[in-house]
Amino acid sequence: MPDPLTVFDAQLRVFGAPSRYIQGRGILDRIGGFAAQIGTSAVLVADVHILPLVEDTLRQSLDKAGVSLVILPFEGQLGIKTAQRLSAALGDRTPEIVVATGGGRAIDAGKALADLRGLKLITVPTVASNDAPTSKNYVLYDENDILLEVRHLARNPNFVVVDTALLAGAPQSMFAAGLGDALSKKAEALACASGRGVTMFRARPTRLAPAIATLCHDTLVTHGVAAYNAAGSGEPNEAFDAAVEAMILMAGLGFESGGLSIPHALTRGLPLVPGVKAKPHGFQVAYGLLVHHQLLGEALPPAIAALYRHTGLPLSLRALAGNPVNQEHFLAVAEASIAVPHILNFPHPLTVDDLVEAMHTVEGEAA
C-alpha cells in the first residue's frame, strides 16, 4: 500500500520521532539490552576509523544480551550503490537490526542498508556534528561528493543511543559543525510555519515542532560556549550534555517535523564555491543562516554572532571558503539553490536576485 505521506496534503500535520532516545555518560556498554528489546540478531555498520574504539564494547554488550552480531566496516563512500554493496557483503545472513555507528555518513549508510533490507534501526553517533541519528531521512552523494538525493525510511530509528562521554572525545571542530547545523533550526521552523511550508513528512508543521526548535536555540545560546570548551576533552560537563541533547534530539525533531528553509537550501549550491565542498555541513548551514536573516531584513542575533566568533563558525562566504569570493560565486550558489524545495518554505517567494543581493550584503557586513 502506498505511503499516504508521499504527496503533500495541506490538511495534515505530522510529527515524527524515534521510538526511544537514550542519552547518558558511558552508556555504550548497555546497547545490548536495548537491542534485545527489538530483536536477537544485528549487523553493525560502523565507520572504519571509529570501529576500533567501539567494537569490543558493542560486541560484548550484544553478546551478553544474546544478540548475535555481524560487522560491516563503512569506508566513507555514500552513494546510490552503498546499500547494495553493504547488502552484498552481508550475503544471505538476515539480521533483524542495523546498528549504525559513527558520524553522519556512517549513520546514513546504516539507514540505507536498513531501508533496502527492511530492518530495524539503532543509531549510535560518535560525534555531535549533526542531527542525523534521530531522523528518518538519509542523503546520498555523487562521485564528486555533491549531494545527489535525499531518501526516507518508512519510520524513524527504533533507538538513538547517545554516549556523551564518547562524543566529548571528538574534535572541537566537529562539535562546532553540529552547533552550526542546530542553530538554524529555530529560524527555519518558524519560517516554514509562518508561510505555507512543507516538512519532511509532506505535511504542514505541528505547533509543537517550532517550539522544540526554539528550545534547541535557547539551550545552545545558554550552554553553547561552555559546551564547546568541553568538546574534545573527553570529559563532558552539564553544559555539554545539554548542548548534545539540543544538537541531536531537539534539532532533529525540529527540522524533520518543523521544516527547513534557506540555510539548508543553500547547501545545494555552496559546494560550487572553491574551498567550500570540503567544509562540514554544519559550517555551510551556519553561513546559510546569515543569508536567511538578511532575507528577513534582520540582523543576526548578537548571542548567535558571539557563538559564531567563539567557535569559529563563518560570518561570511569568504570565511567559509577560505578564499576570496565574487559576484559569480554568489550567482552560482543562488542558481543552484533556487529550485530546492526548502526555498519554498520561506515566508514569501524569492528569486535568484534576492539570494544574490542577500549574500552580497552579508559579505559587506563582515568586511
3-state SS, 207-234, equals: CHHHHHHHHHHHHHHHHHHHHHHHCCCC
CA separation, residue 190 to residues 73, 209, 211 (Å):
39, 9, 9
**Per-residue model confidence (pLDDT) at position 6:** 61
3.40.720.10, 3.30.420.40, 3.40.50.1970, 1.10.12.10: CATH of 9-167: 3.40.50.1970
Q: Is 149 exposed, middle or buried (0-12, 13-18, 19+ CB in 10 A)?
A: exposed
Helix axes 281-295, 172-183, angle to 10 degrees: 30
Instruction: Name the DSSP class of 346.
Output: S
Q: Count the neighbouring beta carbons within 10 Å of the beta carbon of residue 162.
A: 26
Which residue reads 539480521 in cell numbers? 95
Q: What pLDDT sits at residue 2?
A: 39
Looking at residue 357, what is its pLDDT?
97
Query: Is 254 in contact with 267 (CB distance < 8 Å)?
Result: no
Model pLDDT, residue 11: 80
Question: In this predicted structure, what is the pLDDT of residue 7?
Answer: 65
Q: Are 356 and 336 in contact (CB under 8 A)?
A: no
At how many degrees (to 10) do helices 82-90 and 104-117 cross? 70
From its phi and psi, is residue 132 left (phi > 0), alpha (psi between -120 and 50) or beta?
alpha
Domain ranges in the chain with CATH number 3.40.50.1970: 9-167
Give the predicted TM-score (pTM) of the model: 0.94
* Numbered ranges of CATH 1.20.1090.10 in the chain: 172-366
Q: Which CATH architecture has domain 172-366?
A: Up-down Bundle (1.20)
Q: Which residues contact 254 (CB under 8 A, 6 or more apart)?
A: 185, 186, 189, 209, 210, 212, 213, 216
| Confidence at residue 146, expressed as pLDDT on a 0 to 100 scale | 79
pLDDT at position 76 is 81
Per-residue pLDDT of the chain (367 residues; tens, 9 = 90+): 335 456 667 788 999 999 999 999 999 999 999 999 999 999 999 999 999 999 999 999 999 999 999 999 999 889 999 999 999 999 999 999 999 999 999 999 999 999 999 999 999 999 999 999 999 999 998 887 778 889 999 999 999 999 999 999 999 999 999 999 999 999 999 999 998 899 999 999 999 999 999 999 999 999 999 999 999 999 999 999 999 999 999 999 999 999 999 999 999 999 999 999 999 999 999 999 999 999 999 999 999 999 999 999 999 999 999 999 999 999 999 999 999 999 999 999 999 999 999 999 999 988 6
